A and B are shown apart, each in its own frame.
Chain A
């Protein structure tokens, strides 16, 4: 039975895709219900069941012509649950269970439920998803597939052209050519470091030692960021495809996907995806009759932020305590069990099939000179439209926050945007026109990080924010090296002092000194990037610190001991 399902070549893949597409063309209506984490919390699952019931009850004849699709995150989480009706791609927002029968009824009559459409500021109704301002200014290369496929159905992915890049790479290209293509595309690591993926692959390929391992890092621990989950949960096959192509390029036969245990749905979806890919012969032995073998395993994390660091992650997969080590030898040369190990972020792998399919030049056509392609950000905090945003590199922060994000909530004043998770820094209003790419953000003292973007308004206290991040990092510090373990704790003491109104004049220089020490002397990136938040808040919001220290005032009225 299972053998029958195996796909043997690019041609059979194309035929299958064509057949599936023709099948779908027969359908009268396709309801794509977003079942991402946020929409699920708004009881999207209930909507799906209500829809199925409604169809069973009242539309027996049309039943096979109507498709209900449970998809991954569409991105516009603020207005969930979302239903998109294809082929017209009508977008309904904030749908409730009671609206279901009306939606089905009107759709089959060719009408539109107007009250569930998006209304812009002037009261105009917007029907199509792509016309909504939130989507209009994005360039959704990776995320756009999310609404077109059922994340638990490999057929859907094959229908939209999935695994064709893999077939192309394996049957028409040599591993070196694949590697060269990725290198030419200048695909930089999306996990935060921004190290070119092609170069990393090459190092692993040329490193001595067999077997070689390849790992997907989906330990997305940054608070306020959920891009990787958006992809892995909504379109797990795209990551798998990228992973297999990567494995082919570097000559690895064993891969791991390290997923946080806090994302149970992601673990589930990835496991289902692997099972289906195995059934189709896309993972396993002799993939697409090429003689190339590859197997992949899911490793669940158990709640440790520092384990997302590459050397710590490899020890965690080995089944030990996930502590980082000194990296004078990189994991690409000596990683898992001392063997060459290539480690990339989810988003990096998801980009690979697109590069192989469309070519390096297409990829370089997006973004800036040194940072090509798109980047997904999770735009959260005090902004009107929260959600996942995919934009070409080089777009300004102002565009992201005001055009896509729709400005600040409740008409408040913008204060700062925090990028790059706890390791990043804050960016004040005067730098909002900064183009977003790896190098520019680093210059401003922050970093791109994995793509968290937390917007803060005037009611956020910068001293309190810095204290919050340091506390998070101190909590997550593994305690192996002294600067990080003790330095962070001392900084927290100083912050607590300032927040209680007992700050001293010399505290500011002391904080700066400690920050420099941490930057110089810490073992891994957790410690060396931890002071970013301290340094950037000190640089751009010094007057807030001074208000706390000299006048015992918290301008944002957050620090309770200072409120009179």
Chain B
């Protein structure tokens, strides 16, 4: 996909356009970055460039990387082990970010973009039409990105809604609240019963309870996040609870947990993608004599092996 020869020409041109010299160091850096498939940090870059151009020093690399980054030809992609990683900007024609925000050298009509009183519109900014086009392009990309993100969130929300959809009528919630005499002091009991009903506490149900009991929503969320039993996310159809109590710990609860996480491929606290299983840990189930204990869909198992676990899970499917 990448045509290095043509590509490097574009970058060269871009550097020239900006009024910078095409030094050998810059050429080498660009070359190395273009040829490497992934991201490099400054030290790796130095190591590779050094072979081509032995005169180069690490400080030079840092300085030039800073410049290229400023010019938008190189992107800093983040930190790994406290080291910045660099990647070549694949569409140099879009490289506008920082350098174009500087006053242009080409001498344009300053009055065009200043206000009535002759002050610049924004401090440190004197742009031209080309700048505006670039900015428009960037905002177009940004809005596209935002669109994708909202699309993703929508999908996630839809999944949740589909689960919430089951809880359309509040008849059951009403019943529970009335059973507890509409009292603020019974809030925990109400939430417990609601969760027993739906396996989790959907947002709109909490809103509803907040209205009915006339309790601020923050109070409800305070309780729902403080106590471990409450789930604010949809739960799997079957819950798997691994006991991490002392007695189970001494008898190898960690190994059992590793076995089950290995099979399900999720961490404790997570739910499988198909909302079939939720894995949780608990600090003591009070049947220490059986340890290590795991509850799978309300049935207690004492230290099951991998094959047993697989069999049990398969039966639940």
Contact = CB atoms under 8 A, between A and B. Distances in A.
B16 to A, nearest CB: 52
A261 B229 contact: yes
A317 B185 contact: yes
A87 interface: no
B287 A77 contact: yes
A6 interface: no
A318 B187 CA distance: 9
Nearest to A227: B286
A189 B316 CA distance: 45
- The contact size tier of chain B is 35 or more
Contacts of A320: 219, 222-223
Contacts of A300: 188-189, 192
B262 to A, nearest CB: 16
Contacts of A262: 282, 284-286
Given A40-B300, A319-B185, A319-B187, A304 B283 contact: no
B284 A303 contact: no
B288 interface: yes
A319 B190 CA distance: 10
A299 B250 contact: no
Interface residues of A, number: 54
Contact of A303 (B229, B244, B288, B300): B229
Contacts of B230: 302-303
A41 B287 contact: yes
Interface in B164-206: 183-189, 191-192
Given A262-B282, A304-B226, A38 B246 contact: no
Contacts of B300: 37, 40-41
B54 to A, nearest CB: 38
B288 A380 contact: yes
A221 B223 CA distance: 18
A456 B219 CA distance: 43
Contacts of A224: 245-247, 284, 288
Interface stretch (A247-255, A381-389, A524-532): A381-389
Contacts of A42: 290
A215 B186 CA distance: 16
Interface string A213-233: 000000011111110010000
Contact of A38 (B189, B245, B284, B289): B289
A303 B195 CA distance: 13
A460 to B, nearest CB: 6
**Residue of B228, B230, B247, B290 contacting most chain A CB atoms (<10 Å):** B247
A302 B183 CA distance: 18
B246 A418 contact: yes
B192 A318 contact: no
B227 A460 contact: no
Interface in B262-317: 282-291, 293, 300-302
A382 B250 contact: yes
B312 to A, nearest CB: 14
A263 interface: yes
Contacts of A301: 227
A510 interface: no
Contact of A454 (B250, B285, B286, B302): B250
B237 interface: no
B85 interface: no
Contacts of B251: 381-382
A550 interface: no
Nearest to A386: B289
A80 B222 CA distance: 42
Contacts of A304: 226-228
Contacts of A335: none
A233 to B, nearest CB: 9
A77 B285 CA distance: 14
Contacts of B249: 223, 468
Contacts of B245: 223-224
A421 B246 CA distance: 8
Contacts of A469: 246
Residue among B192, B248, B289 with most chain A CB within 10 A: B289
Contact of B246 (A77, A303, A468): A468
Given A300-B192, A380-B291, A321 B226 contact: yes
A303 B284 CA distance: 11
A526 to B, nearest CB: 13
A234 interface: no
Given A262-B285, A299-B189, A381 B226 contact: no
A225 B284 contact: yes
Contact of A460 (B183, B250, B284): B250
A551 interface: no
Nearest to A299: B189
Contacts of A537: none
A50 B185 CA distance: 44
A452 B223 CA distance: 29
A305 interface: yes
Given A226-B284, A478-B226, 6 more contacts: A223-B245, A223-B284, A224-B246, A262-B286, A304-B226, A380-B291
What are the 9 closest A-B residue pairs judged by CB atoms, nearest first?
A77-B289, A223-B245, A41-B300, A303-B228, A302-B227, A224-B246, A226-B286, A303-B229, A380-B247
11 contacts: A77-B289, A220-B286, A226-B286, A302-B230, A319-B185, A319-B223, A320-B219, A322-B226, A418-B246, A455-B250, A468-B246
